[in-house]
Amino acid sequence: MSDSKNQTDPSRRAFLAGAAVAASVAAIGLKPRTASAAGENLPHLSESDPLAKSLGYRAHASNVDRKKYPNFKPGDRCGICRFFLGKPGQKSGYGGCQIYAGYSVNADGWCASYNARS
C-alpha cells in the first residue's frame, strides 16, 4: 500500500537540497573568486554528476524539466545567478559556480539552486 502524502515531492526535495548547499556555502563564508579565478578553465560540469543530477542542472536552460522544476522561469540562467563566478550577466561560455566546486557551468545553464543576482 502506498501513501503518497508521506512522499516528498522530488522538486521540493531538490529545492531543499539546493537551499541546504547554498546555506552551507554561506555559512563557511565562501565568496566569489576574483576575475582571474572565475573558473572558466575548470572542467565542465556534467549533467550526470550526482549533485548536478539531484539539482536538475542542465547545461542549457531550455532543457530544464519544467514539470519537475516549476520554479524555473524562462530567462533564468547561470549567468545571472548569484552563485555564478564568471562575469555577472555573462551570456555564453563557462564560469565557476559556488555550488559545484572544481567545475565550471554554462552561463546559459540552470539548476534548482538558482538565485537571481539582486
Complex with ligand SF4: residue 38 or 114, whichever CB lies closer: 114
Q: Which three cell numbers stand for residue 19?
A: 537551499
Residues 80-109 that bind ligand SF4 (CB under 6 A): 81, 83-84, 97, 99, 105, 109
Residues that bind ligand SF4 (rule: CB under 6 A) add up to a total of: 13
- Tell whether residue 78 is a contact of ligand SF4 (CB under 6 A): yes
- Tell whether residue 64 is a contact of ligand SF4 (CB under 6 A): no
Site string for ligand SF4, 21-60 (x = CB under 6 A): ------------------------------------x---
Q: How far apart are CA 45 and CA 84, in angstroms?
A: 13
Using the contact rule CB under 6 A, the part of the chain among 5-13, 31-39, 67-75, 77-85 near ligand SF4 is: 77-85
Q: Least separation, in Å, of the C-beta of 4 and ligand SF4?
A: 29
Residue 13 to residues 54, 78, 112, Cα–Cα distance (Å): 9, 21, 10
Residue 50 to residues 45, 89, 91, 108, Cα–Cα distance (Å): 10, 27, 26, 20
Q: How far apart are CA 99 and CA 103, in angstroms?
A: 9
Number of other CB atoms surrounding residue 53 within 10 Å: 13
